[in-house]
Copies of this chain bind each other. A is one copy, B any other.
Amino acid sequence: MTTAHVFIAASLDGFIARADGDIEWLLQRDDPAEDHGYAAFIADKDMIVMGRGCYEKVLTFGAWPYEQPVLVLSRQLAGTAVPDALEGKLRFSGLAPKAVMEELARQGVRRVYLDGGQLLQSFLREGLVADMVITTVPVLIGAGRPLFGPLAGDIDLRLVSSLGFASGLVQSTYRVVV
């Protein structure tokens, strides 16, 4: 079985980016001297799964930041060619969340890093998220792209750990109770 794991930061009022995708407010408040655990988190993931919005944001970074293979879920990109420079590192898929996870399980992929708010929301609604590391940034930005969204019913969580950093970030790890 493939399990999906989330590692994401949001403002205290629950936004992962401004409406235009800007995350400068987040980067400003990052302290590179603090270990927020991303390296340890990503080390045991076999694949990174993201939506188109997230993929297009990563393309603007210049250098491709991932060692693991990346799967971009997008009906729009599915069937199109990946950029030459990313051949072998990247794949597009038009499958729905459940079908993707079943396909990955057949391929022997065990643990995926699920990135981006829209994808998190659709995987949560399908009961496909195992756990989430949520880093809360000490700022209110008032509007933007929300981390969470509407649900068919409550989703119960179990707090695994929580840690406040000197920078003001608070990082909490939750297991999704099924």
Closest to A155 in B: B140
**Residues B157 and A168 in contact, CB atoms below 8 Å apart:** yes
The interface residues of chain B lying within 8 Å CB-to-CB of A158 are 138, 168
Contact (A140, B151) CB under 8 Å given A159-B170, A170-B162, A172-B170: yes
User: How far apart sit A136 and B134, CA to CA, in the bound complex (Å)?
Assistant: 12
How distant is the Cα of A140 from the Cα of B163 in the complex, in angstroms?
20
Q: Is there a chain B Cβ closer than 8 Å to A164's Cβ?
A: yes
Binds B, one of A35-43, A72-80, A89-97, A142-150: A142-150
- At the interface, yes or no: A161 with Cβ under 8 Å from chain B? yes
Question: For the complex, what is the distance from the CA of A154 to the CA of B162, rounded to whole Å?
Answer: 25
B139 touching A154, Cβ below 8 Å: yes
Verify A142–B151 contact, CB threshold 8 A: yes
Q: Is the CB of B159 within 8 A of A161?
A: no
